Amino acid sequence: MKANEWNTSISVGAFAMAAWSIVVSCPALAKAEVAGVPPQAVVTVDTDTPSKPYSPMIFGGFLEHFHTQVYGGVFDPGSPLADKNGFRRDVVAALQELKVPIVRWPGGCYVSGYHWEAGVGKKRRPTDDMAWGVVEPNTFGTDEYVELCRLLGWQPYICNNAGNGTIQEMRNWVEYCNASKGPYAQMRKDNGYDKPRNVKLWSIGNENWGQHEIGYKPIEQWAPLVLAAAKEMKAADPHIQLTAAALPTRAWTLPLLKMAGPYLDYISIHSYWLPLWGSNDMPDYMTCIMHSESPEQLITDYIGVLEESGYRGRIKIAFDEWNLRGWHHPGFPRKTVQDYGDPEVIKLIAAREQNLLASQYTMADALFSASFFNACLRHAEDVGMANIAPIVNTRGPLYVHPKGIVKRTHFHAMALYANELEGRVGKLAIKADKLAHGERSVPLVDAIATVNESGRNWAIALVNRHPENEVACTVKMKDLPLEGSYAALVLAGDAPEAFNDIEHPQRVVPKQAKLTFTKGVATLPPHSLTIVKVLLPRSHQGRLLP
């Protein structure tokens, strides 16, 4: 199958028996509409083309020892809200709602200076976190992570230290987790865990392609290291699956796969579309939403690289760090131990609190996340995993504070996708006008159609990106327009900049609705995600069933 056969088809402003256009330019949001005609889109679901399965692992998460993701996030011993093992009960309940299938740990830049043996056993001691300039207490390590995975039903996914770690250290970690015998298996048993931890998915390195990373390695060094590490790790457990860090470019990927490709099941890429590392800017809704199509472009381009490598179909993409907003960590990461009393270091670390400002996480975060998932689903044969970075605090969908939690807007988008979609992806085409901001534009509407094994139960996700206007959206199942009222769930704030916070945790929440179609046309609220359920008759003749 060609890479573009499942791509959404988008055309601009061409609708039968109508000549109209809408131009939106911010901040003025000037609109030119013909005779009051609202923005429009047409979504056509091809019910004849066979659907394709997708991996639930695209709804995965990520945890790093950064700021309050672990300590004060998922792990908070001594809190009245924590269980006997130190896991926050309210956090566990919320994350269960997301049905996260897999979580990557312990980093991130942190892992390139992390030595796992410091975080196991009873005689642990604090160590220096060079990347983030703090002291790591090591009270949350491998076994606590695996126990949290078991509690939440996550598949463990461990990222190895390919920075200042060694290949032998990587192999030993696999043996500690998975072996039944050997010195490191015995170490695990002595620590109270007789049975293997069964960690099946491992990453070789984090962002070692970057000079910001401890243990930066150019591709000439990286490819042979990945090969050697893969051989040793597979020797410790031949049944594990492996991925390796990569830049999504030909120059990086082709040499890596030429050398280490036979040992890899995935290849890991990262992207944050608003690089806020040094300055915590808070761009408005329109600036954010202009990035909605970028994930699909990156995925499409990288599929071309995999095709060229000869490994397409054999190795899948692991998009194992993604988010609209880059983490705010001015002056870091670093590669040396810091003076923890240095006023500059103290000031820079305190600036990380800006990641927690609730007003940043608007409907743009929810709708960008929906568009990201749509892109992964459209390319389900190539994208095997995606991990929002992180899952808790920093830029994550769940904000955890000492007295409770707040579900940010993108939490609800993730929950809708995890709970309301069917298990296979159908083919569809979209015709939609453009939403423009400055020199950039995106289609007003994005959509994905999912279906169950029988081919009858459909869940269609419709995203209206317009900040102010409703969209008249036509939905057709092949050549049959929807007619009547259908059960739907709608996520839309009272404004495009709406957000949830401690004082107003329910300002943006999904609401049950009936979406009414007349001759195939229904109205989508502005800045909204709608998931509508459709039951297809067995014969696909006559009226569709709500």
Determine the 3-state secondary structure of 170 from DSSP. helix
- State percent of the chain over pLDDT 70: 92
Helices (H), 385-483: 409-420
78: left (phi over 0), alpha (psi -120 to 50) or beta: left
Residue type, 73: G
pLDDT, tens only, 532-542: 999 987 755 44
Predicted confidence at residue 544, as pLDDT, reads: 60
CA atoms of 307 and 500, how far apart (whole Å): 42
pLDDT of res. 16: 27
pTM of the predicted protein model: 0.92
pLDDT number for residue 34 = 47
How many residues are recorded in the chain?
546
The reported pLDDT for the residue numbered 183 is 98
Which pLDDT does position 39 carry in this prediction?
86
Report the pLDDT averaged over residues 416-437. 97
pLDDT tens, residue by residue, 434-454: 999 999 999 999 999 999 999
Over the chain, what is the mean pLDDT? 92
> What is the rounded CA–CA span in Å between residue 523 and residue 474?
9
Q: What local confidence, expressed as pLDDT, does residue 376 receive?
A: 98
The 10s digit of each residue's pLDDT in 397-408 is 999 999 999 999
Confidence of residue 4 (pLDDT cuts 50, 70, 90): very low
Phi-psi region of 277 (alpha: psi -120 to 50; beta: other; left: phi over 0): alpha
Q: What is the pLDDT of residue 545?
A: 57
- How far is the CA of 32 from the CAs of 142, 423, 496, in angstroms? 58, 40, 21
Per-residue pLDDT tens for 355-388? 999 999 999 999 999 999 999 999 999 999 999 9
Q: Rounded CA gap, 405 and 73, in Å?
A: 10
Predicted confidence at residue 2, as pLDDT, reads 33
The answer to whether the bond into 333 is cis (omega within 30° of 0) is yes
Rounded Cα gap, residues 3 and 375, in angstroms: 12
What average pLDDT does range 61-65 have in this prediction?
A: 98
pLDDT in tens, 298-343: 999 999 999 999 999 999 999 999 999 999 999 999 999 999 999 9
pLDDT higher than 80, residue 1: no
| 437 strand-pairing partners | 440
Rounded to the nearest 5°, which phi and psi values hold at 60? -80, 175
Hey, what amino acid is at 210?
Answer: G
The pLDDT tens digits for 244-294 are: 999 999 999 999 999 999 999 999 999 999 999 999 999 999 999 999 999
All domains in the chain, ordered by first residue: 40-53+433-535 (2.60.40.1180), 56-420 (3.20.20.80)
Whether the pLDDT of residue 140 is over 90: the answer is yes
In angstroms and rounded to an integer, the radius of gyration of the C-alpha atoms of the chain is: 24
CA distance 461 to 240: 35
Instruction: Identify the weakest region by mean pLDDT among 11-25, 319-333, 406-420.
Output: 11-25
Q: Residue 47: is its pLDDT beyond 90?
A: yes
Per DSSP, the chain holds a count of helices (H) and strands (E) of: 11, 26
CA 486 to CA 191: how far, in whole Å? 55
